[in-house]
A = this chain, B = another copy of it.
Amino acid sequence: MKIACLAGDGIGPEIMAEARRVLDALALENVEIFEGDVGGTGYKKHGHPLPPETLEMCKAADAVLFGAVGDPDCDNLERHLRPEQAILGLRQALTLFANLRPATMFPGLEDMTALRPEVARTIDLLIVRELNGDVYFGEKAIRTLDDGRRQGFDLMSYAEDEVRRIAHVAFRAAQGRKKKLCSVDKANVLETSQLWRDVVIEVAAEYPDVALSHMYVDNAAMQLVRDPGQFDVVVTGNLFGDILSDQASMCVGSIGLLASASLGETQTEYGTKGLYEPIHGSAPDIAGQGKANPMAMILSLAMMLRHSFGLEGQAARIETAVSRTLADGIKGADLGGSASTVEVGDAVLARL
């Protein structure tokens, strides 16, 4: 089981260290770890946020465990050299088109969110975000128009096969949950969304057991505050998924708790090849201070064991340990507590 570990920038190395301790504690046989540089770290050491040796390592691996990228030192670099390009580049190079972002309320945290406890308690949703298309990867530039004005542009688009494959992922996920799927778009304004909606409806014919609904993204952002409990699985494009999944994370109490899986179609001998990362960023403001919450990273490890290695039992074991840690009141600064990164790691290890 080849695992590429890319710690990245900011708090990346600290939280990755905790996830690695948890992985070690499972004492799985047959695990091979490879470490690579990415993001600002990749740029500083090798001149590129996604150095060729890191990319090759990820191609050869069965799964990628990814920390976080983002480094203020790199803010003024040309776009293709900025840290974020590492994650965008990996998603594209490995054709990781399906981003799974579960958001579930942890018992004991109802008091940590900005939502009322009775609203927060109902949250149990999965956002399925398309990750290889949309306005992220279309033609884009800042150009000078004939009249001398500068203009920035980005082409938003989806082709039917891109929508179809993510729709299948979402319908299958819904079949394994409460069989409710809400597709989010802006079909009253965008042709990209109109095609998205048309194709999702076509695919729905193959999943008669799943109840499909459609919602405009502005309404979805509102409903996620008003009544997040109404959602089971949400499927949406790359840009809307970026916004809504961050919003949903805060409804759960802290972005330091949310893990994600990015999957493609590659099957290894163990499961589906994928990349696993917390949905939070590199938090340069608290890097190196032992303040970061490693839980999202540890939960990303659990998702990796589940999806890429078929180790459901081990995944559940980690998730239970994290849940118990929270229920026991052990919280980092992001949750108003005082436990350090390592102390949270210790607590999870003790409950494994």
Could you tell me which A residues sit within 8 Å of B by CB distance? 79, 82, 84, 88, 114-116, 119, 135-136, 138, 140-142, 145, 149-161, 186, 188-196, 199, 217-219, 221-227, 239-240, 242-247, 249-251, 255
A-B pairs with beta carbons under 8 Å apart, 17 shown = A79-B191, A135-B135, A135-B156, A142-B195, A150-B159, A151-B160, A152-B157, A152-B190, A152-B193, A154-B155, A154-B157, A186-B242, A221-B243, A222-B246, A222-B249, A223-B250, A224-B247
Across the interface, which residues of B come within 8 angstroms of A225, CB to CB? 114-115, 225, 247, 250-251
Describe A's contact surface by its main secondary structure: helix
Across the interface, which residues of B come within 8 angstroms of A115, CB to CB? 114-116, 225
Across the interface, which residues of B come within 8 angstroms of A221, CB to CB? 221, 243-244, 246-247
| A156 CA to B240 CA, complexed, in Å | 14
Across the interface, which residues of B come within 8 angstroms of A153, CB to CB? 138, 155-157, 191-192
Q: CB distance B218 to A114 under 8 Å?
A: no
User: Quick one: which of B149, B160, B186, B245 contacts A160, CB cutoff 8 A?
Assistant: B149
Copies in the complex: 2
Across the interface, which residues of B come within 8 angstroms of A82, CB to CB? 188
Q: CB distance B194 to A142 under 8 Å?
A: yes
User: Quick one: which of B136, B195, B246 contacts A150, CB cutoff 8 A?
Assistant: B195
Q: CB distance B158 to A156 under 8 Å?
A: no
Q: CB distance A154 to B192 under 8 Å?
A: yes
| A251 CA to B119 CA, complexed, in Å | 13
Q: Which residue of B lies closest to A118 (CB)?
A: B114
Across the interface, which residues of B come within 8 angstroms of A189, CB to CB? 84, 88, 135-136
Instruction: Please name 12 further chain A to chain B contacts, defined as beta carbons within 8 Å, in addition to the given A153-B155, A217-B243, sorted by A numbering.
Output: A114-B115, A114-B226, A114-B227, A115-B116, A142-B194, A149-B159, A151-B160, A153-B156, A155-B155, A186-B242, A221-B244, A222-B246
Across the interface, which residues of B come within 8 angstroms of A186, CB to CB? 239, 242
**Residues A218 and B194 in contact in the complex (CB < 8 Å), given A116-B114, A149-B159, A189-B84:** no
Q: Which residue of B lies closest to A223 (CB)?
A: B250
Min distance, Cβ A158 to any Cβ of chain B, angstroms: 6
Across the interface, which residues of B come within 8 angstroms of A192, CB to CB? 140, 152-154
Across the interface, which residues of B come within 8 angstroms of A155, CB to CB? 153-156
Q: CB distance B161 to A157 under 8 Å?
A: no
Across the interface, which residues of B come within 8 angstroms of A154, CB to CB? 155-157, 190-192
Min distance, Cβ A214 to any Cβ of chain B, angstroms: 11
| A155 CA to B153 CA, complexed, in Å | 7
| A138 CA to B155 CA, complexed, in Å | 9
Q: CB distance B191 to A141 under 8 Å?
A: yes
